Structure 1
């Protein structure tokens, strides 16, 4: 049975990775407190859902810009120092959020400003962190290490907002932000304890951070079909088959339950990620990562098609009991969450293993742009589809487009299916 369960050997055998993983887990959990607290505070101050939506805009733009520049910094400097300073920036912004709440500074503008600076620091730091892991963990243990991160991410997304909401309701905004700041203090300690991680010798000329360095990363990606495929597959899944924008209308008019239904549908995706992490021993020993990645994205599309079919059938039976349709919809989303987590694990591992160390941070920066921007673009695509065709057809049709794109991509780039972790070729 142990072969099917999560492999914890990276945590057990590599102290530096153990500290990094523990610090990241606590900071991810704490950040969910801040996410829910900011949304609730902005709504309390403005009573406007549009103002709450603007929080995402103020967070997304700095994240994309800083993600690209942060990658160039990570490839040019000692990654421990780069990660340490960006974590200091994140810690400072969480302290600023806590201070504004304790001082009762009731200003939406102040919140937007802190969110933007926090997101900028996060964008600088994430590419560095992603490039640190392959320096700490042997290639054979990378899938297990990434599965550990996937498990904690899914768990934090599932329980973090609930704990954050309880904290705000019981103790107030100040304590929610303070708990996040304390969690970042642990992450700061973990980064401080890392060994020096300067650019590796023999990887070519070290390029100074800046636009030229970022462009070099894009040029490298343009000439490496296997790496490029990981981005294209993710875009196909997130742009055409991410149904989260449809959840509010489904909760209000189709599946019943309003906010509770929206919460259940959202938690179902996260629950799938947790299940995939717990049973990651089932697939981390697979060597043909290209085949596994493509199959997982195709599986995601099929699960979302099933979700759309459940919604369509429920819509036709308007007024009937929605308990069973809701259960079926949640089940399809749990399965989709499993597929998404598996595809993310293999895409991340391919990106880490097949990219030369001198370019890892820059490729991680581009990865952040795709991961952050793809779902936002998907919200626009499926939101428009839901308005024109209805939520059921939007989910079903978008997922069908995703499946067709996966089949076309593997036909155009057949070498991706031959990608082998024992001989990673970009």
Structure 2
């Protein structure tokens, strides 16, 4: 059994341990906001298209600042950049709390503040990921990535469940306020990190602008394996992430209230439950050498799970209670598969890139990992308005399976990739 439990060796590094422990608190707060934004938008409009629109408002800053943030991570001290990004996240959470506490009830204010928050997230994420190889040796990267994924998904469980409980006693503004308070932890932890100045050719003013971003893309274009790791994840997330449908499904399929409630909380947490389970039993990951094939298999499992979820939700009328648990089980299976895929894709990227371009490639990674689901929010929200939530969710899962198989056949080098 010990061979299957998570490898905690990276926690022996003081810097990695500080950042990891701070993340436990932070991701819970962040997921309160992730829960609150779609609930607030749906409560204001009762229209999944507006919930999906939040994906577009988040996607634009993710793309812009994800790419530039990665370039900045290669051009300046990564510790300092992490501090700046953490402060920005705290301020944006405070502003979300203010708009809710004042009951402005304005959809566009919520969407614009979401954009600001995602801009700082887009700077923080690639910088943090690029810093990890400076904290732990290369052979510990799969374990370190698995530990990070487990914490992120742990917050994705506790956050929505805590939000569902809290909303029985407080309003949405309190969720935003708690998120702002939890942002203190990463600021303190990052302040205590060792300095991480840029290395080699990463220094210089030419690495701050558009030319630096282009250099990262040129580097990426020359590595088909890393490029394919981005492509298959885009296929999985754009077609297969149905979270924009959760408010409507919780209300219409499973009988929850318009303002959220237990069904919404369960749906929001289910994928993360599976991911945490996959992370806890991730001790086998470092022993896998065919990492490209493992990614393809994991994404196929994700797509099949989303098909099952959509069909279970679509037949829930009259049997909402029983089928809710079946739908949750499919989401959890998908979450475990996604954790495996993400851990291997992160490792492939970190091992393939040299340190002076690692920030820029992690910026592209952030755009793909965070931007894909945001684009999925827009597509799924619009699709549900036309064909219904069942067809949008199950059909998306089917497209994932077909798409990733075609991609694997077109680029067999990715399937054959070994450490």
Q: Same fold (TM over 0.5)?
A: yes
1:57 Cα offset (Å): 4.5
1:290 to 285, 289, 292: 292
Change (3 A) 1:186 1:311: closer
Distance 1:111 1:391 in 2: 24
Distance 2:323 2:42 in 1: 32
1:77 Cα offset (Å): 1.3
1:309 Cα offset (Å): 4.6
Distance 1:294 1:415 in 2: 12
Q: TM-score, normalised by structure 2?
A: 0.86
Structure 1 residues 261-295: Cα deviation after superposition (integer angstroms, max 9, x where no partner): 44433322121111111111133331221111111
Distance 2:322 2:174 in 1: 39
1:30-41 matches, within 5 Å, as: 30-37=29-36
1:21-420 matches, within 5 Å, as: 21-37=20-36, 56-97=55-96, 104=102, 106=104, 108=106, 114-167=113-166, 170=169, 175-201=174-200, 207-254=206-253, 260-310=262-312, 314=315, 319=318, 321-383=319-381, 385-386=383-384, 390-420=388-418
Distance 1:393 1:341 in 2: 25
Whether the 8 Å contact between 2:299 and 2:337 is mirrored in structure 1 is yes
Distance 1:409 1:151 in 2: 28
1:5 Cα offset (Å): 1.1
Structure 2: tracts of 5 or more residues without a match: none
Change (3 A) 1:81 1:404: same
Distance 2:385 2:53 in 1: 21
1:240 Cα offset (Å): 2.0
Structure 1 residues 51-86: Cα deviation after superposition (integer angstroms, max 9, x where no partner): 766655544322321111111100111211221222
What is the SS of the residue equivalent to 1:170? coil
Change (3 A) 1:91 1:242: closer
Moved more, 238-247 or 109-118: 109-118
Over the residues paired in the alignment, what is the CA RMSD in angstroms? 3.1
Change (3 A) 1:380 1:22: same
Q: TM-score, normalised by structure 1?
A: 0.85
Change (3 A) 1:87 1:329: closer
Structure 1 residues 317-353: Cα deviation after superposition (integer angstroms, max 9, x where no partner): x64x344433322222211111111111111111111
Whether the 8 Å contact between 1:68 and 1:362 is mirrored in structure 2 is yes
Distance 1:263 1:100 in 2: 23
Task: Please identify the structure whose Cα radius of gyration is greater.
Answer: 1
Distance 1:3 1:299 in 2: 23
Distance 2:206 2:28 in 1: 35
Structure 1 residues 108-142: Cα deviation after superposition (integer angstroms, max 9, x where no partner): 47655544333222222211111011111111111
1:354 Cα offset (Å): 0.9
Whether the 8 Å contact between 2:307 and 2:395 is mirrored in structure 1 is yes
Whether the 8 Å contact between 2:23 and 2:152 is mirrored in structure 1 is no
What is the SS of the residue equivalent to 2:288? coil
